[in-house]
Structure 1
Amino acid sequence: MGRFPDEGHSLLRKPKAMRFRFIEEHCRDVPTSRLCRVMNVSERVLRDYRSRPASRGQRTDMVSLAHIKEQSRLGLGSYGRPRMTEKLKELGLNVEHRRVERLMRENGIRVERSKKYKVMTDSNHAFNIAPNLLNRDFSADQPNQKWAGDISYVWTREGWLYLAVILDLHSRCVIGWAVSNRMKRDLAIRALKMAIALRQPPKGCIHHTDRGSQYCSHDYQKILRQHEFQVSLSCM
Protein backbone atom coordinates (compact mmCIF):
# COMPACT_ATOMS: atom_id res chain seq x y z
CA MET A 1 0.00 0.00 0.00
CA GLY A 2 1.37 3.41 -0.96
CA ARG A 3 2.44 5.98 1.60
CA PHE A 4 -0.03 8.82 2.01
CA PRO A 5 1.49 12.08 0.68
CA ASP A 6 2.34 14.57 3.43
CA GLU A 7 0.83 17.54 1.61
CA GLY A 8 -2.63 15.96 1.66
CA HIS A 9 -3.26 16.81 5.29
CA SER A 10 -3.00 20.54 4.55
CA LEU A 11 -5.97 20.29 2.16
CA LEU A 12 -8.55 19.15 4.70
CA ARG A 13 -9.93 22.67 5.11
CA LYS A 14 -9.77 23.46 1.41
CA PRO A 15 -12.75 23.34 -1.02
CA LYS A 16 -13.84 19.90 -2.18
CA ALA A 17 -12.66 20.61 -5.72
CA MET A 18 -9.08 20.90 -4.51
CA ARG A 19 -9.40 17.68 -2.50
CA PHE A 20 -10.83 15.92 -5.56
CA ARG A 21 -7.83 17.09 -7.54
CA PHE A 22 -5.47 15.69 -4.89
CA ILE A 23 -7.26 12.33 -5.04
CA GLU A 24 -7.01 12.20 -8.84
CA GLU A 25 -3.28 12.96 -8.72
CA HIS A 26 -2.47 10.23 -6.18
CA CYS A 27 -5.02 7.47 -6.85
CA ARG A 28 -2.43 5.40 -8.75
CA ASP A 29 -0.21 5.18 -5.67
CA VAL A 30 -2.74 5.14 -2.83
CA PRO A 31 -6.11 3.30 -2.81
CA THR A 32 -8.99 5.62 -3.66
CA SER A 33 -10.95 4.46 -0.62
CA ARG A 34 -8.12 5.54 1.67
CA LEU A 35 -7.70 8.88 -0.09
CA CYS A 36 -11.42 9.59 0.23
CA ARG A 37 -11.40 8.68 3.90
CA VAL A 38 -8.47 10.94 4.75
CA MET A 39 -9.78 13.78 2.54
CA ASN A 40 -13.18 13.47 4.25
CA VAL A 41 -15.18 12.93 1.06
CA SER A 42 -17.35 9.93 0.22
CA GLU A 43 -16.57 7.68 -2.72
CA ARG A 44 -20.11 8.26 -4.01
CA VAL A 45 -19.55 12.03 -4.10
CA LEU A 46 -16.25 11.43 -5.90
CA ARG A 47 -17.99 9.25 -8.51
CA ASP A 48 -20.62 11.95 -9.03
CA TYR A 49 -17.88 14.55 -9.47
CA ARG A 50 -16.06 12.41 -12.03
CA SER A 51 -19.19 11.83 -14.12
CA ARG A 52 -20.47 15.41 -13.97
CA PRO A 53 -20.17 17.23 -17.31
CA ALA A 54 -18.52 20.63 -17.45
CA SER A 55 -21.02 23.42 -16.82
CA ARG A 56 -21.62 26.32 -19.18
CA GLY A 57 -19.66 28.60 -16.85
CA GLN A 58 -16.73 26.19 -16.79
CA ARG A 59 -16.65 25.95 -20.58
CA THR A 60 -16.66 29.75 -20.91
CA ASP A 61 -13.88 30.01 -18.36
CA MET A 62 -11.77 27.40 -20.11
CA VAL A 63 -11.99 28.98 -23.56
CA SER A 64 -11.26 32.43 -22.14
CA LEU A 65 -8.36 31.06 -20.13
CA ALA A 66 -6.83 29.36 -23.16
CA HIS A 67 -6.71 32.72 -24.94
CA ILE A 68 -5.38 34.46 -21.83
CA LYS A 69 -2.55 31.94 -21.50
CA GLU A 70 -1.57 32.34 -25.15
CA GLN A 71 -1.68 36.14 -25.06
CA SER A 72 0.35 36.17 -21.85
CA ARG A 73 2.97 33.99 -23.52
CA LEU A 74 3.09 36.25 -26.57
CA GLY A 75 3.37 39.34 -24.37
CA LEU A 76 6.20 37.74 -22.36
CA GLY A 77 4.14 38.07 -19.21
CA SER A 78 3.81 41.85 -19.54
CA TYR A 79 -0.01 42.04 -19.86
CA GLY A 80 -2.05 43.15 -16.87
CA ARG A 81 -5.83 42.86 -16.69
CA PRO A 82 -6.73 45.98 -18.75
CA ARG A 83 -4.33 45.17 -21.60
CA MET A 84 -5.32 41.50 -21.56
CA THR A 85 -9.03 42.37 -21.80
CA GLU A 86 -8.27 44.67 -24.72
CA LYS A 87 -6.30 41.95 -26.53
CA LEU A 88 -9.09 39.41 -26.10
CA LYS A 89 -11.66 41.83 -27.47
CA GLU A 90 -9.41 42.43 -30.47
CA LEU A 91 -9.63 38.68 -31.08
CA GLY A 92 -13.43 38.89 -31.04
CA LEU A 93 -14.05 37.50 -27.55
CA ASN A 94 -16.93 39.19 -25.73
CA VAL A 95 -15.35 38.88 -22.29
CA GLU A 96 -15.82 41.16 -19.28
CA HIS A 97 -12.81 42.57 -17.46
CA ARG A 98 -14.04 40.98 -14.23
CA ARG A 99 -13.84 37.50 -15.75
CA VAL A 100 -10.37 38.23 -17.12
CA GLU A 101 -9.22 39.54 -13.75
CA ARG A 102 -10.59 36.51 -11.90
CA LEU A 103 -9.10 33.95 -14.28
CA MET A 104 -5.70 35.63 -14.21
CA ARG A 105 -5.77 35.82 -10.42
CA GLU A 106 -6.96 32.24 -9.87
CA ASN A 107 -4.36 30.85 -12.26
CA GLY A 108 -1.43 32.97 -11.12
CA ILE A 109 -1.13 34.74 -14.49
CA ARG A 110 0.33 38.14 -13.69
CA VAL A 111 3.03 40.46 -14.92
CA GLU A 112 5.64 38.37 -13.10
CA ARG A 113 4.48 35.40 -15.16
CA SER A 114 3.91 33.16 -12.15
CA LYS A 115 1.73 30.22 -13.19
CA LYS A 116 -0.67 28.10 -11.22
CA TYR A 117 -1.51 25.79 -14.10
CA LYS A 118 0.70 22.96 -15.21
CA VAL A 119 0.99 21.10 -18.49
CA MET A 120 0.28 17.39 -18.23
CA THR A 121 2.54 15.51 -20.67
CA ASP A 122 3.06 11.75 -20.66
CA SER A 123 5.90 11.17 -23.13
CA ASN A 124 6.79 7.75 -21.72
CA HIS A 125 5.13 5.62 -24.39
CA ALA A 126 5.95 3.35 -27.33
CA PHE A 127 4.16 5.30 -30.08
CA ASN A 128 6.05 6.50 -33.16
CA ILE A 129 7.67 9.94 -32.91
CA ALA A 130 7.43 12.47 -35.77
CA PRO A 131 10.10 15.14 -36.44
CA ASN A 132 9.89 18.74 -35.21
CA LEU A 133 8.89 20.63 -38.36
CA LEU A 134 8.48 24.02 -36.68
CA ASN A 135 11.90 24.20 -35.01
CA ARG A 136 10.69 27.06 -32.76
CA ASP A 137 9.20 29.01 -35.68
CA PHE A 138 5.66 29.60 -34.41
CA SER A 139 4.81 32.27 -36.99
CA ALA A 140 2.41 31.65 -39.88
CA ASP A 141 1.74 33.73 -43.00
CA GLN A 142 -1.86 32.63 -43.41
CA PRO A 143 -4.66 30.76 -41.61
CA ASN A 144 -4.59 26.95 -41.52
CA GLN A 145 -0.87 26.85 -42.25
CA LYS A 146 0.24 25.81 -38.75
CA TRP A 147 -1.83 24.46 -35.89
CA ALA A 148 -0.66 23.70 -32.36
CA GLY A 149 -2.24 21.53 -29.69
CA ASP A 150 -1.88 21.67 -25.92
CA ILE A 151 -3.36 20.03 -22.83
CA SER A 152 -3.27 21.80 -19.46
CA TYR A 153 -4.65 21.24 -15.97
CA VAL A 154 -6.14 24.54 -14.89
CA TRP A 155 -8.19 26.12 -12.12
CA THR A 156 -11.70 27.50 -12.63
CA ARG A 157 -14.16 28.91 -10.11
CA GLU A 158 -15.80 25.45 -9.96
CA GLY A 159 -12.67 23.35 -9.54
CA TRP A 160 -9.74 21.87 -11.46
CA LEU A 161 -10.26 20.73 -15.05
CA TYR A 162 -8.27 19.41 -17.98
CA LEU A 163 -8.33 21.61 -21.07
CA ALA A 164 -7.31 20.49 -24.57
CA VAL A 165 -7.03 23.21 -27.23
CA ILE A 166 -6.05 23.60 -30.87
CA LEU A 167 -4.59 27.00 -31.83
CA ASP A 168 -4.18 28.48 -35.30
CA LEU A 169 -0.69 29.98 -35.12
CA HIS A 170 -1.59 32.68 -37.65
CA SER A 171 -4.25 34.37 -35.49
CA ARG A 172 -3.33 32.71 -32.17
CA CYS A 173 -7.04 31.97 -31.77
CA VAL A 174 -8.45 28.81 -30.22
CA ILE A 175 -10.20 26.92 -33.02
CA GLY A 176 -10.92 23.70 -31.16
CA TRP A 177 -11.27 22.82 -27.50
CA ALA A 178 -12.55 20.19 -25.09
CA VAL A 179 -12.76 20.11 -21.30
CA SER A 180 -13.15 17.39 -18.68
CA ASN A 181 -12.58 16.95 -14.96
CA ARG A 182 -10.52 13.86 -15.84
CA MET A 183 -7.82 13.15 -18.41
CA LYS A 184 -10.03 11.11 -20.71
CA ARG A 185 -8.53 9.37 -23.73
CA ASP A 186 -10.72 11.22 -26.20
CA LEU A 187 -10.08 14.71 -24.79
CA ALA A 188 -7.48 15.71 -27.39
CA ILE A 189 -9.46 14.01 -30.17
CA ARG A 190 -12.58 16.03 -29.40
CA ALA A 191 -10.61 19.28 -29.60
CA LEU A 192 -9.07 18.23 -32.92
CA LYS A 193 -12.42 17.22 -34.42
CA MET A 194 -13.92 20.58 -33.46
CA ALA A 195 -11.07 22.44 -35.16
CA ILE A 196 -11.33 20.32 -38.31
CA ALA A 197 -15.10 20.82 -38.52
CA LEU A 198 -14.70 24.58 -38.08
CA ARG A 199 -11.77 25.17 -40.42
CA GLN A 200 -11.69 22.31 -42.97
CA PRO A 201 -7.87 22.61 -43.22
CA PRO A 202 -6.12 22.09 -46.56
CA LYS A 203 -3.74 19.23 -47.27
CA GLY A 204 -0.33 19.84 -45.74
CA CYS A 205 -1.38 21.92 -42.72
CA ILE A 206 1.25 21.43 -40.01
CA HIS A 207 -0.09 20.02 -36.75
CA HIS A 208 2.39 20.57 -33.89
CA THR A 209 2.20 19.25 -30.32
CA ASP A 210 4.39 17.82 -27.61
CA ARG A 211 5.11 14.09 -27.45
CA GLY A 212 2.31 13.27 -25.04
CA SER A 213 0.64 9.89 -25.43
CA GLN A 214 -2.71 11.53 -26.26
CA TYR A 215 -1.20 13.10 -29.40
CA CYS A 216 0.92 10.10 -30.41
CA SER A 217 -1.86 7.56 -29.96
CA HIS A 218 -2.99 5.49 -32.93
CA ASP A 219 -6.51 6.99 -32.88
CA TYR A 220 -5.25 10.59 -32.90
CA GLN A 221 -2.65 9.94 -35.59
CA LYS A 222 -5.25 8.17 -37.72
CA ILE A 223 -7.37 11.34 -37.83
CA LEU A 224 -4.31 13.41 -38.79
CA ARG A 225 -3.52 11.01 -41.64
CA GLN A 226 -7.12 11.02 -42.87
CA HIS A 227 -7.01 14.81 -43.18
CA GLU A 228 -3.45 14.83 -44.61
CA PHE A 229 -1.79 16.92 -41.90
CA GLN A 230 1.96 17.22 -41.64
CA VAL A 231 2.71 15.93 -38.15
CA SER A 232 5.24 17.83 -36.05
CA LEU A 233 6.29 16.93 -32.50
CA SER A 234 8.44 18.94 -30.13
CA CYS A 235 11.89 17.63 -29.27
CA MET A 236 11.16 17.50 -25.53
Structure 2
Amino acid sequence: MYAYIKNHLKDVSVKRACAYLGVSRSGYYKFLQHQPSNLELENSVLSDRIRTIFFAHKGRYGARRIQVELRQNHQLFVSRKRIGRLLCKQGLYTKGKRRKYLKQKSPIYFSANLVKQNFHVQRPNQLWFGDISYVPTQEGMLYCSVFIDCFTRKCVGFSIREHMRDNLVIESLEEALYREKPKKGLIIHTDQGSQYTGHRFYECSMIYHFIHSQSRKGNPYDNAVMESFYKSLKREVLPPKQYQTKAQARIELTDYLETYYNYQRIHSSLDYQTPVAFEQNHKFS
Protein backbone atom coordinates (compact mmCIF):
# COMPACT_ATOMS: atom_id res chain seq x y z
CA MET A 1 0.00 0.00 0.00
CA TYR A 2 2.79 2.42 0.91
CA ALA A 3 4.61 1.73 -2.37
CA TYR A 4 1.34 2.38 -4.23
CA ILE A 5 0.93 5.76 -2.48
CA LYS A 6 4.53 6.69 -3.31
CA ASN A 7 4.00 5.92 -7.00
CA HIS A 8 0.77 7.98 -7.20
CA LEU A 9 1.60 11.09 -5.15
CA LYS A 10 1.22 13.24 -8.25
CA ASP A 11 -2.49 12.33 -8.33
CA VAL A 12 -3.46 12.63 -4.67
CA SER A 13 -2.17 14.00 -1.35
CA VAL A 14 -0.54 11.75 1.25
CA LYS A 15 -3.27 12.46 3.78
CA ARG A 16 -6.06 11.61 1.38
CA ALA A 17 -4.30 8.54 -0.02
CA CYS A 18 -3.64 7.09 3.45
CA ALA A 19 -7.23 7.69 4.51
CA TYR A 20 -8.53 6.13 1.30
CA LEU A 21 -6.40 3.00 1.68
CA GLY A 22 -6.88 2.72 5.43
CA VAL A 23 -3.22 3.10 6.45
CA SER A 24 -1.46 5.56 8.75
CA ARG A 25 0.57 8.53 7.57
CA SER A 26 3.24 7.77 10.19
CA GLY A 27 3.62 4.29 8.72
CA TYR A 28 4.01 5.78 5.24
CA TYR A 29 6.77 8.19 6.32
CA LYS A 30 8.48 5.35 8.19
CA PHE A 31 8.37 3.37 4.94
CA LEU A 32 10.06 6.27 3.08
CA GLN A 33 12.87 6.43 5.65
CA HIS A 34 13.49 2.68 5.66
CA GLN A 35 17.13 1.77 5.07
CA PRO A 36 17.90 -1.69 3.67
CA SER A 37 19.49 -4.09 6.16
CA ASN A 38 22.85 -5.76 5.64
CA LEU A 39 21.04 -8.98 4.73
CA GLU A 40 18.92 -7.19 2.11
CA LEU A 41 22.01 -5.58 0.59
CA GLU A 42 23.83 -8.91 0.61
CA ASN A 43 20.89 -10.66 -1.07
CA SER A 44 20.77 -7.92 -3.71
CA VAL A 45 24.43 -8.40 -4.65
CA LEU A 46 24.10 -12.18 -4.49
CA SER A 47 21.00 -12.09 -6.70
CA ASP A 48 22.95 -10.21 -9.37
CA ARG A 49 25.71 -12.84 -9.29
CA ILE A 50 23.20 -15.68 -9.47
CA ARG A 51 21.32 -14.05 -12.36
CA THR A 52 24.58 -13.50 -14.27
CA ILE A 53 25.54 -17.17 -13.89
CA PHE A 54 22.01 -18.31 -14.79
CA PHE A 55 21.93 -16.40 -18.09
CA ALA A 56 25.59 -17.14 -18.88
CA HIS A 57 24.62 -20.82 -19.00
CA LYS A 58 21.32 -20.05 -20.78
CA GLY A 59 19.11 -21.31 -17.98
CA ARG A 60 20.76 -24.74 -17.80
CA TYR A 61 22.23 -24.33 -14.31
CA GLY A 62 20.08 -24.88 -11.24
CA ALA A 63 20.84 -24.18 -7.57
CA ARG A 64 23.35 -27.04 -7.22
CA ARG A 65 25.57 -26.02 -10.15
CA ILE A 66 25.26 -22.32 -9.34
CA GLN A 67 26.41 -23.14 -5.81
CA VAL A 68 29.54 -24.81 -7.21
CA GLU A 69 30.14 -21.91 -9.60
CA LEU A 70 29.92 -19.37 -6.77
CA ARG A 71 32.30 -21.40 -4.62
CA GLN A 72 34.89 -22.13 -7.32
CA ASN A 73 34.97 -18.85 -9.26
CA HIS A 74 33.75 -16.25 -6.75
CA GLN A 75 34.84 -17.75 -3.40
CA LEU A 76 31.28 -17.36 -2.13
CA PHE A 77 29.95 -20.12 0.13
CA VAL A 78 26.15 -19.99 -0.08
CA SER A 79 23.63 -22.67 0.84
CA ARG A 80 21.71 -24.31 -1.97
CA LYS A 81 18.37 -23.44 -0.35
CA ARG A 82 19.25 -19.75 -0.27
CA ILE A 83 20.24 -19.84 -3.93
CA GLY A 84 16.96 -21.58 -4.73
CA ARG A 85 14.97 -18.90 -2.89
CA LEU A 86 16.77 -16.09 -4.74
CA LEU A 87 16.24 -17.83 -8.08
CA CYS A 88 12.54 -18.27 -7.35
CA LYS A 89 12.19 -14.65 -6.21
CA GLN A 90 13.54 -13.51 -9.59
CA GLY A 91 11.28 -15.90 -11.50
CA LEU A 92 14.25 -17.90 -12.82
CA TYR A 93 13.66 -21.61 -13.41
CA THR A 94 16.01 -24.16 -14.92
CA LYS A 95 15.15 -25.54 -18.34
CA GLY A 96 13.14 -28.73 -18.07
CA LYS A 97 12.56 -28.24 -14.35
CA ARG A 98 9.60 -30.21 -13.07
CA ARG A 99 7.75 -27.85 -10.82
CA LYS A 100 5.62 -29.29 -8.06
CA TYR A 101 2.19 -27.78 -7.73
CA LEU A 102 0.02 -28.06 -4.69
CA LYS A 103 -3.47 -29.30 -5.27
CA GLN A 104 -5.64 -26.25 -5.79
CA LYS A 105 -7.98 -25.57 -2.94
CA SER A 106 -11.65 -24.95 -3.50
CA PRO A 107 -12.54 -21.24 -3.87
CA ILE A 108 -13.32 -19.49 -0.60
CA TYR A 109 -15.87 -17.18 -2.18
CA PHE A 110 -17.40 -18.32 -5.44
CA SER A 111 -19.66 -16.08 -7.53
CA ALA A 112 -22.10 -17.09 -10.24
CA ASN A 113 -21.59 -16.23 -13.91
CA LEU A 114 -23.89 -13.24 -14.35
CA VAL A 115 -22.55 -12.12 -17.74
CA LYS A 116 -23.02 -15.42 -19.64
CA GLN A 117 -21.05 -14.12 -22.63
CA ASN A 118 -23.38 -11.14 -23.08
CA PHE A 119 -20.88 -8.36 -23.77
CA HIS A 120 -23.40 -5.67 -24.74
CA VAL A 121 -24.09 -2.92 -22.17
CA GLN A 122 -25.72 0.50 -22.40
CA ARG A 123 -23.35 2.79 -20.50
CA PRO A 124 -19.87 3.10 -18.97
CA ASN A 125 -19.11 1.63 -15.53
CA GLN A 126 -21.89 -0.90 -15.83
CA LEU A 127 -19.66 -3.93 -16.47
CA TRP A 128 -15.91 -4.33 -16.02
CA PHE A 129 -13.70 -7.27 -16.89
CA GLY A 130 -10.48 -8.16 -15.09
CA ASP A 131 -7.63 -10.61 -15.55
CA ILE A 132 -3.88 -11.16 -15.00
CA SER A 133 -1.17 -11.88 -17.55
CA TYR A 134 2.54 -12.54 -17.28
CA VAL A 135 5.36 -10.55 -18.93
CA PRO A 136 8.69 -12.42 -19.21
CA THR A 137 11.97 -10.51 -18.97
CA GLN A 138 15.60 -11.60 -18.79
CA GLU A 139 15.58 -10.51 -15.13
CA GLY A 140 12.56 -12.63 -14.28
CA MET A 141 8.79 -12.51 -14.57
CA LEU A 142 6.44 -9.55 -14.21
CA TYR A 143 2.68 -9.82 -13.75
CA CYS A 144 0.10 -7.34 -15.04
CA SER A 145 -3.43 -6.96 -13.68
CA VAL A 146 -5.88 -4.93 -15.79
CA PHE A 147 -9.55 -3.94 -15.58
CA ILE A 148 -11.41 -3.01 -18.80
CA ASP A 149 -14.75 -1.24 -19.12
CA CYS A 150 -17.05 -3.27 -21.37
CA PHE A 151 -18.84 -0.28 -22.92
CA THR A 152 -15.85 1.95 -23.76
CA ARG A 153 -13.14 -0.78 -23.80
CA LYS A 154 -11.12 1.69 -21.72
CA CYS A 155 -8.39 0.49 -19.39
CA VAL A 156 -9.78 1.85 -16.12
CA GLY A 157 -7.02 0.51 -13.88
CA PHE A 158 -3.86 -1.56 -13.97
CA SER A 159 -0.98 -2.70 -11.79
CA ILE A 160 2.41 -4.26 -12.66
CA ARG A 161 4.25 -6.24 -10.00
CA GLU A 162 6.77 -9.04 -9.55
CA HIS A 163 4.23 -11.33 -7.88
CA MET A 164 0.73 -12.73 -8.43
CA ARG A 165 -0.57 -12.25 -4.89
CA ASP A 166 -3.97 -10.66 -4.32
CA ASN A 167 -2.27 -7.28 -3.72
CA LEU A 168 -1.65 -7.12 -7.47
CA VAL A 169 -5.38 -7.31 -8.20
CA ILE A 170 -6.47 -5.11 -5.29
CA GLU A 171 -4.13 -2.28 -6.35
CA SER A 172 -5.41 -2.23 -9.92
CA LEU A 173 -9.01 -2.46 -8.72
CA GLU A 174 -8.68 0.40 -6.22
CA GLU A 175 -7.00 2.56 -8.86
CA ALA A 176 -9.92 1.90 -11.24
CA LEU A 177 -12.51 2.66 -8.55
CA TYR A 178 -10.73 5.88 -7.58
CA ARG A 179 -10.54 7.08 -11.19
CA GLU A 180 -14.02 6.15 -12.35
CA LYS A 181 -16.05 6.42 -9.13
CA PRO A 182 -18.76 4.02 -10.40
CA LYS A 183 -22.22 3.93 -8.88
CA LYS A 184 -23.52 0.99 -6.89
CA GLY A 185 -24.46 -2.01 -8.99
CA LEU A 186 -21.27 -2.23 -11.05
CA ILE A 187 -20.60 -5.82 -12.16
CA ILE A 188 -16.97 -6.96 -12.23
CA HIS A 189 -16.37 -10.19 -14.12
CA THR A 190 -13.23 -12.29 -13.63
CA ASP A 191 -12.10 -15.88 -13.88
CA GLN A 192 -11.82 -18.20 -10.87
CA GLY A 193 -8.20 -17.37 -10.04
CA SER A 194 -7.29 -17.45 -6.36
CA GLN A 195 -6.75 -13.67 -6.37
CA TYR A 196 -10.48 -13.22 -7.08
CA THR A 197 -11.86 -15.94 -4.80
CA GLY A 198 -10.01 -14.93 -1.62
CA HIS A 199 -11.38 -12.95 1.28
CA ARG A 200 -9.70 -9.65 0.29
CA PHE A 201 -11.46 -9.38 -3.07
CA TYR A 202 -14.71 -10.38 -1.39
CA GLU A 203 -14.21 -7.65 1.23
CA CYS A 204 -13.65 -5.12 -1.57
CA SER A 205 -16.98 -6.10 -3.11
CA MET A 206 -18.66 -5.38 0.24
CA ILE A 207 -16.84 -2.08 0.81
CA TYR A 208 -17.22 -0.66 -2.71
CA HIS A 209 -20.64 -2.19 -3.42
CA PHE A 210 -19.89 -3.94 -6.70
CA ILE A 211 -21.26 -7.30 -7.81
CA HIS A 212 -18.76 -10.04 -8.58
CA SER A 213 -19.33 -12.39 -11.53
CA GLN A 214 -17.05 -15.28 -12.43
CA SER A 215 -16.40 -17.38 -15.52
CA ARG A 216 -17.08 -21.07 -15.56
CA LYS A 217 -14.02 -23.15 -14.79
CA GLY A 218 -11.82 -23.72 -17.84
CA ASN A 219 -13.98 -21.58 -20.15
CA PRO A 220 -11.97 -18.61 -21.58
CA TYR A 221 -14.90 -17.51 -23.76
CA ASP A 222 -16.73 -16.26 -20.65
CA ASN A 223 -13.96 -13.66 -20.27
CA ALA A 224 -13.47 -13.03 -23.99
CA VAL A 225 -13.04 -9.26 -23.56
CA MET A 226 -9.89 -9.77 -21.50
CA GLU A 227 -8.62 -12.57 -23.71
CA SER A 228 -8.88 -10.22 -26.71
CA PHE A 229 -7.26 -7.36 -24.80
CA TYR A 230 -4.22 -9.37 -23.71
CA LYS A 231 -3.86 -10.84 -27.19
CA SER A 232 -3.56 -7.29 -28.58
CA LEU A 233 -1.23 -6.19 -25.78
CA LYS A 234 1.18 -9.08 -26.32
CA ARG A 235 1.17 -8.59 -30.09
CA GLU A 236 1.64 -4.81 -29.98
CA VAL A 237 3.89 -4.32 -26.95
CA LEU A 238 5.92 -7.42 -26.13
CA PRO A 239 9.08 -7.80 -28.24
CA PRO A 240 9.81 -10.96 -30.27
CA LYS A 241 12.34 -11.79 -27.59
CA GLN A 242 12.09 -11.04 -23.89
CA TYR A 243 12.67 -7.58 -22.45
CA GLN A 244 16.21 -7.23 -21.15
CA THR A 245 15.17 -5.63 -17.86
CA LYS A 246 12.08 -5.35 -15.72
CA ALA A 247 12.42 -1.56 -15.75
CA GLN A 248 12.21 -1.52 -19.55
CA ALA A 249 9.11 -3.73 -19.47
CA ARG A 250 7.42 -1.49 -16.87
CA ILE A 251 8.07 1.65 -18.92
CA GLU A 252 6.76 0.11 -22.16
CA LEU A 253 3.64 -1.37 -20.53
CA THR A 254 2.83 1.78 -18.55
CA ASP A 255 3.15 3.96 -21.63
CA TYR A 256 0.89 1.62 -23.61
CA LEU A 257 -1.79 1.29 -20.93
CA GLU A 258 -1.71 4.85 -19.56
CA THR A 259 -1.25 6.84 -22.75
CA TYR A 260 -1.54 4.94 -26.01
CA TYR A 261 -4.34 2.42 -25.44
CA ASN A 262 -6.98 4.79 -24.09
CA TYR A 263 -6.13 7.94 -26.05
CA GLN A 264 -4.62 6.87 -29.39
CA ARG A 265 -5.53 3.29 -30.28
CA ILE A 266 -8.74 2.98 -32.32
CA HIS A 267 -11.00 -0.06 -31.84
CA SER A 268 -13.06 -1.78 -34.48
CA SER A 269 -15.72 -2.59 -31.85
CA LEU A 270 -16.04 1.18 -31.16
CA ASP A 271 -16.58 2.10 -34.81
CA TYR A 272 -12.85 2.85 -35.06
CA GLN A 273 -12.75 5.38 -32.24
CA THR A 274 -10.43 5.50 -29.26
CA PRO A 275 -11.94 4.53 -25.86
CA VAL A 276 -11.73 8.12 -24.58
CA ALA A 277 -13.28 9.59 -27.75
CA PHE A 278 -16.05 6.99 -27.69
CA GLU A 279 -16.78 7.79 -24.05
CA GLN A 280 -16.91 11.53 -24.75
CA ASN A 281 -19.31 10.96 -27.63
CA HIS A 282 -21.64 8.97 -25.36
CA LYS A 283 -22.04 11.16 -22.32
CA PHE A 284 -24.65 10.05 -19.79
CA SER A 285 -26.23 12.08 -17.06
The CA distance in 2 between the partners of 1:214 and 1:222, in whole Å, is 12
The CA distance in 2 between the partners of 1:212 and 1:39, in whole Å, is 39
- Note the C-alpha offset of 1:170: 1.1
The counterpart of 1:138, out of the listed 106, 119, 129, is 119
- Confirm whether residue 228 of structure 1 aligns to residue 209 of structure 2: yes
2:17 matched to which residue of 1? none
Report the TM-score when normalising by structure 2.
0.42
The CA distance in 1 between the partners of 2:86 and 2:180, in whole Å, is 36
2:114 counterpart letter in structure 1: L
Deviations 1:67-102 (A, max 9, x none): xxxxxxxxxxxxxxxxxxxxxxxxxxxxxxxxxxxx
- Note the C-alpha offset of 1:200: 0.7
> In the alignment, is the contact (CA less than 8 A) between 2:63 and 2:84 conserved in 1?
no
User: Structure 2 stretches of 5 or more lacking a match?
Assistant: 1-51, 71-77, 91-102, 218-285
- Confirm whether residue 216 of structure 1 aligns to residue 197 of structure 2: yes
Change (3 A) 1:160 1:203: same
- Note the C-alpha offset of 1:181: 1.9
1:138 counterpart letter in structure 2: F
- Note the C-alpha offset of 1:175: 1.0
1:217 counterpart letter in structure 2: G
> Aligned with 1:127: secondary structure?
coil
Deviations 1:33-64 (A, max 9, x none): 44855998x8579749948xxxxxxxxxxxxx
> In the alignment, is the contact (CA less than 8 A) between 2:63 and 2:83 conserved in 1?
no
Change (3 A) 1:132 1:35: farther
- Note the C-alpha offset of 1:180: 1.4
The counterpart of 1:193, out of the listed 174, 177, 185, is 174
> Aligned with 2:166: secondary structure?
coil
1:128 matched to which residue of 2? 109
Deviations 1:148-190 (A, max 9, x none): 1101112357653111111111111211111112223311111
Report the TM-score when normalising by structure 1.
0.50
Change (3 A) 1:37 1:44: closer
Deviations 1:192-228 (A, max 9, x none): 1110111111100001000111011111111111111
Change (3 A) 1:33 1:157: closer
The CA distance in 1 between the partners of 2:209 and 2:194, in whole Å, is 20
2:146 matched to which residue of 1? 165
1:175 matched to which residue of 2? 156
Q: Once the two structures are aligned, what percentage of the paired residues are identical?
A: 31
1:206 matched to which residue of 2? 187
2:119 counterpart letter in structure 1: F
The CA distance in 1 between the partners of 2:178 and 2:147, in whole Å, is 12
2:256 matched to which residue of 1? none
Moved more, 144-153 or 166-175: 166-175
User: Structure 1 stretches of 5 or more lacking a match?
Assistant: 1-11, 24-31, 52-121
The CA distance in 2 between the partners of 1:203 and 1:133, in whole Å, is 16
Relative CO higher for 1 or 2, CA cutoff 8 Å, sep ≥ 6? 1
Give runs of ≥4 in structure 1 deviating > 6 Å. none
1:162 counterpart letter in structure 2: Y
Change (3 A) 1:203 1:182: same
> In the alignment, is the contact (CA less than 8 A) between 1:123 and 1:211 conserved in 2?
no
